[in-house]
Amino acid sequence: MMSFQKTIRQVLVLVFSLFHFTAFSLNNSKIDSLLTRLEEAESDSVRVNVNIELSQHHITTDLSAAMEYAENAVELAEKTGNPEVLSRSLNNIGNVCFNQGFFEMALTHFVRCLEINSSSGNERGIASILINIGAIYLGTGNFRQAKENFTRALKKFKQLEQTFRNEDYEIEIVTLYNNLGIACQNLKEYRQAENYYISGIELAKKDPENAFLLANLNNNLASLLLDLKKADEAYHLISEALEIRLK
């Protein structure tokens, strides 16, 4: 079994765009509404979507329920024969497994999801799943493999950015700079790590919506500077991160 490495001090940023995962804050009436939709659904595709929504909601409150709904979604998606629906359900259950610490199970689902997206030529889907796979390797201490997957994902997102100039991939790219910095730092590739953190900070500063990411990047760069015995520079970054969080 893979084991989580406690040596990682930096915050691993797993924003919703990585998993196409939206954090739901649902009240009981909304849950009841979803359950009613599930009962009245006339197609397996609709049932898949509702099960995914329910699993995403329960992921922060009831992991057992989250897994049950995620498994239901995969089972139903298999019946549809629709690659996109199956990919979405596999991505979701991989996310649930990741949150429960079942890294090998999560990896299995993500790899299958990657194969489906590769077969259909879904470049954004491929890039997103590469981040998920990299996150597993990062969390389990396989920093070389993490770096390889993040690097592939970054290349794809930059290509997508050039091809579809009207679409925004900023959050994904900022996150990849952050995670590549973490991987390189743990590989003791300090110059590369610093360059990735700085690139992420420069890009994150362009949009106030990226404040959470910016604070994490500042903390992670500060961690690197502490490794390099540059406490004064680290203090400045940590202070900036604190100010962002307080705001």
Establish if 21 belongs to a structural domain: no
Split into its structural domains, the chain has a count of 2
User: Within 13 Å and on the Cβ side, how many CA atoms surround 180?
Assistant: 26
111/150 same-domain check:
no
CB 119 within 8 Å of CB 138: no
Residues 156 and 45 reside in one and the same domain: no
User: Do 82 and 179 lie in a common domain?
Assistant: no
> Within a domain: residue 198?
yes
In a domain, 132, yes or no: no
Burial of 36 (0-12, 13-18, 19+ CB in 10 A): exposed
Kindly report the CATH number assigned to the domain that includes residue 234: 1.25.40.10
What tens digit of pLDDT does each residue of 159-197 get? Answer: 999 998 878 899 999 999 999 999 999 999 999 999 999
Angle between helices 123-139 and 83-100 (to 10 degrees): 20
Q: Average pLDDT of 135-151? A: 95
Identify the domain boundary among 121, 154, 189: 121
| Integer Cα distance of 112 and 80 in angstroms | 17
Range of the domain at 228: 146-247
pTM of the model: 0.83
Is the torsion defined by CA of 42, 47, 50, 54 positive or negative?
positive
Pair (79, 160) in one structural domain: no
**44 & 113 share domain:** yes
Q: What pLDDT shows up at residue 209?
A: 87
Is residue 5 located within the same domain as residue 116?
Answer: yes
| pLDDT for 34 | 78
In a shared domain, residues 78 and 161: no
Residue 128 within a domain: no
With contact defined as beta carbons under 8 Å apart, do 221 and 200 qualify?
Answer: no
Q: Which element (helix H / strand E) includes 75?
A: helix 63-80
Confidence band for 20, pLDDT divided at 50, 70 and 90:
very low
